[in-house]
Structure 1
């Protein structure tokens, strides 16, 4: 096990009806707020009215930035920064899923910074200050409600890059599972894929003597496998939605499940190029890429992949070699993603091989990807081709 330091300052407020605590929590950060949300589903469900009522009850003047895209655009982030600066707004409130939360983090980081917020994502600058951020989560997936990461798309340059800053942890996050009842079947699938691959990125490593962390990862994976199909078949099943919401939060919150372990993240970088160029859903891209990354690298540590097959997918090890178990676990992962309705190939989502070399080159612009197996441009291109 590696040495580590772990700190997570986000206050989680979990359970049905917890939106009623929003006004009190937000009032600690000033008398104005920028309300950031997506395509309008929070208006159709009535959540927008509840949020406004809470803020107004506590004397908070609200400015709004709707229309955050599924792969949030740098241009929209800049609009939010301008609104905050022009109106001297001290607090950002994100109401939505991971894309809304990521855009809100970028806004919070960008307001105090004199240069372009894109400097952070290109690793040209380090954030020194940020506006406080609160969130109300409506989609279980990214873990952005309790982590310091955000991913933004520069659509003009077709680049999708992430940035981590300890200043970007939300001050509080309200997690009411009933707010995810209206999430459609495909988005439930993509959320499950996203949170599972977050765990994979931490689980597949070469660090020795980490039995607790490994079993924490495996328990989250098994809980997602048990609950995602239930949530798809019965969207109003509170237990299934609550378990998925907590899995998403625990899967990626700065290391709670993986302290002391190395991490990989190559597959996320590979997928970011896909959604930057083709604007596909992040979870859909991961459902295609990740099993093929597994197939490309599994021999780097057969024992971990065999363990994954037995502990997560309950594959009987009797009479099987480690390699046979590893391949069975990879196939079980692919089959589960497919059972949820997530795509398995790039062809299914209308993507061919014409831009593979371009995407592979961009993916390694900051250097080789991953840690489990270092991937260069040729490796990334090979994974894309496996995914066709």
Structure 2
């Protein structure tokens, strides 16, 4: 294993009704005034908002709201949230939703203690402090509940960039599988693709990859495949829902990258451009990019791709494993072609240009030139 340092300060509270203890959890960290960040009013219609705010009131925590966070969260909404948080004097943010809400909340938490433009943190300025961050996950996909990163799109510049900083680890994250039973089939399968993408980036690209990490990643991917199929038939299966949610967390909380080295995130680099230009759901974009990228890349690491085929699908060759993944995506109903995303030739040119800039920013342009990116995406037609 390659040398590493590891610390993950996030506390996970997993289980039914854990969200009803949110006030107590937040009080432990001195919360007094909180900005609640969420998407639609569904959390109010379902009673979730009332349950959470009742707990906040019980512990004397005042709150205000920033709502209408969208999938593929945008900078202007983050800026709106910062304005609200500063005016309210918030000391904490509480995200109730999926990864888009939490990524927005993280950026709001950083920007609320900063006098400059929060976009600075997405373009190189370090995050040194932030409001305390808490969350209740209603959708499992991004793993943002147990890591220190987030992604936001600057809708003016069409840049979809990440933000990172140790202070962006949530203090407490609540995962109640029951809250995720109403997720649509579309977003369930998009989430499955996102989790698999988080799992394979290092698995396929790392120059140093410990056997233990291989086994963990393979177990995670097989869990996602198994539980997705169960949930498509029975969305209320809480055992499958819980395993799916925990697989999402494990895919990007740092554990599956310990002792690895020399890895990169090409699928996310390309998909960030795709959703920045066309605003496609992130997981849907990834299910299109992944088989195409794997087809282009597999000769660079043939043994690992053969291993993937054998361990995940019981097949012999890299090509068979790639086709099996594509077939599984088709089976569950997440797209595998640009046409399914309604991406035309003009869009494609803009995506390639955007991704080529991402490759420069992510220090991957030695491999991923504009022509290479175009070649990969042409495999997704």
Gaps of 5+ in 1: 318-324
Following TM superposition, by how much is the alpha carbon of 1:366 offset from its aligned partner in structure 2, in angstroms?
5.2
Equivalents in 2 of 1:373, 1:14: separation in Å? 42
CA separation in 2, counterparts of 1:64 and 1:272?
Answer: 28
What is the TM-score when the length of structure 1 is the normalising length?
Answer: 0.94
What SS does structure 2 have at the residue aligned with 1:174? strand
Quote how far apart the aligned CAs of 1:113 are: 1.2
Matched, 1:33 2:21: no
The 5 A counterparts of 1:175-194 are: 175-194=175-194
CA drift of 1:371 comes to 6.4
Query: Moved runs in structure 1, 4+ residues, more than 3 A?
Result: 366-373
Partner SS for 2:345: coil
Match of 1:3 in 2: 3
Which residue is 2:66 aligned to? 65
Contact 2:269–2:359 (8 Å) recurs in 1: no
Q: 2: CA distance between counterparts of 1:370 and 1:2?
A: 21
CA gap of 1:42–1:66, structure 2 versus 1, over 3 A, is same
Aligned to 1:365, the other structure's residue is in SS state: helix
Q: 1:80 aligns to what?
A: 81
Q: CA deviation at 1:373?
A: 8.3
**Pairing of 1:263-342 with structure 2 (within 5 A):** 263-315=263-315, 317=316, 325-342=317-334
The 8 Å contact of residues 297 and 373 in structure 1, kept in 2 or not, is answered as no
**Structure 2 Cα separation of the partners of residues 25 and 71 of structure 1:** 28
- Structure 1 residue 372: deviation in Å? 12
What per-residue deviation string (whole Å, max 9, x for no partner) do you get for residues 299-349 of structure 1?
00100000000011122x3xxxxxxx1000101111111111101111112
Separation (CA, whole Å) in 2 of partners of 1:372 and 1:17: 47
Structure 2 Cα separation of the partners of residues 285 and 383 of structure 1: 13
**Matched residue, 1:113:** 114
Distance 1:21 1:195 in 2: 28
Whole-Å Cα distance in 2 between the matches of residues 220 and 373 of structure 1? 31
For the structure 1 residues 154 and 372, does the alpha-carbon distance in structure 2 shift closer, same or farther, using more than 3 Å as the test?
closer
Report the number of matched residues. 378
Counterpart CA distance in 2 for 1:336 and 1:381 is 25
Q: CA deviation at 1:362?
A: 2.2
Equivalence map 1:1-388=2 (5 Å): 1-27=1-27, 28-123=29-124, 125-208=125-208, 210-253=210-253, 255-262=254-261, 263-315=263-315, 317=316, 325-365=317-357, 367-368=359-360, 374-388=367-381
The answer on whether the counterparts of 1:265 and 1:370 sit within 8 Å (CA) in structure 2 is: no
* 1:221-256 deviation digits (Å, cap 9, x = unpaired): 011111101111111001110000000000001x20
Q: 1:341 and 1:367 mapped to 2: Cα distance? A: 29
Structure-2 separation of matches of 1:383 and 1:209: 24
Alignment partner of 2:95: what SS? Answer: strand
Unmatched runs of 5 consecutive residues or more in structure 2: none
* Contact kept? 2:127, 2:164, Cα under 8 Å: no
8 Å contact kept, 1:121–1:161: yes
In structure 2, what is the Cα distance between the partners aligned to 1:48 and 1:65?
13
String of CA shifts for 1:162-190, please: whole Å, max 9, x gaps. Answer: 12211111001000000001011111101
Shift of residue 294, structure 1, vs aligned partner: 0.4
Contact 2:38 2:67 in 1 (8 A): yes
